[in-house]
Amino acid sequence: MRRILPLFLLVLVAGCVRVAVPAYDAGDVVPQPALAGLWCDDGNPPTTLRLTPVASSRFLLRCLSSCEPLEEGRDYMATPFALDGRTYLDLALRPAGPGDEEPLTPHTVIRVYGVDDTRALVGLLSPDAVREAVRQDGCPPDLAGDDEELVVLAGTERLRALLRRHGDALFGSPSPVTRCAPPGP
């Protein structure tokens, strides 16, 4: 069983999927102001994170508590994008400081099914569904990892094509998360 942490975290009990490149092109990026704010789950221990707008279509995500395996206090860039009417969020670790570069910043793709004033419905890529989609497409296996973590090594165009062809079938069951507080100043 997967435990989905609030909006946009890739934390799992039974495996996860990361991608080696952003899953979007500049033209796919869409404003999603409803995502801003403080989001919480009712896990044990509870997780809390904040999404702060940093540009018209991007957010800074910061874990405030219980975000394993993400680091508390580290910043992640969160970019909403849309393909064929479906909304997604691409999440990538931000360098810790000026001049600090991450050698490989894996991205996480989250399906955002909907957001309102009190909750959001989100889904994570399913390792089994991604493997099956790659098998069905007859593509070379641009995959690495094991049962615990799968990394999709395909380029952005191929990743976008996979999302377009298989859509929601690539994701686990949608899970609700709760807005703890509205966007702050």
Segment 95-154, tens digit of pLDDT: 666 555 554 567 889 899 999 888 888 888 888 898 888 888 886 657 887 766 788 888
**Is the Cβ–Cβ distance between 179 and 51 less than 8 Å?**
no
What pLDDT sits at residue 98?
A: 59
The band of 165, judged by pLDDT with boundaries at 50, 70 and 90, is very high
Residue 148 lies in a domain: yes
Which is nearest to 88 in space by CA: 116, 110, 120? 110
Cβ contacts of 49 within 8 Å, gap of 6 or more: 5, 6, 7, 8, 9, 38, 39, 61, 62, 63, 64, 67
What pLDDT sits at residue 5?
A: 34
Higher pLDDT, 10 or 107: 107
What pLDDT sits at residue 131?
A: 87
Q: Per the structure, how many domains does the chain have?
A: 1
Residue located via tokens 């000026």: 98
Higher pLDDT, 24 or 43: 24
The domain containing residue 53 runs over which residues? 16-180
**Residues 22, 90: Cα–Cα separation, whole Å:** 7
Residue 176 lies in a domain: yes
**Residues 67, 70: Cα–Cα separation, whole Å:** 5
Residue 11, pLDDT > 50, answer: no
Residue 3 lies in a domain: no
What pLDDT sits at residue 160?
A: 92
pTM exceeds 0.75, yes or no:
yes
Residue 159 lies in a domain: yes
Residue 126 lies in a domain: yes
What pLDDT sits at residue 9?
A: 35
Residue located via tokens 């099956």: 132
Residue 4 lies in a domain: no
Residue 84 lies in a domain: yes
What pLDDT sits at residue 140?
A: 61
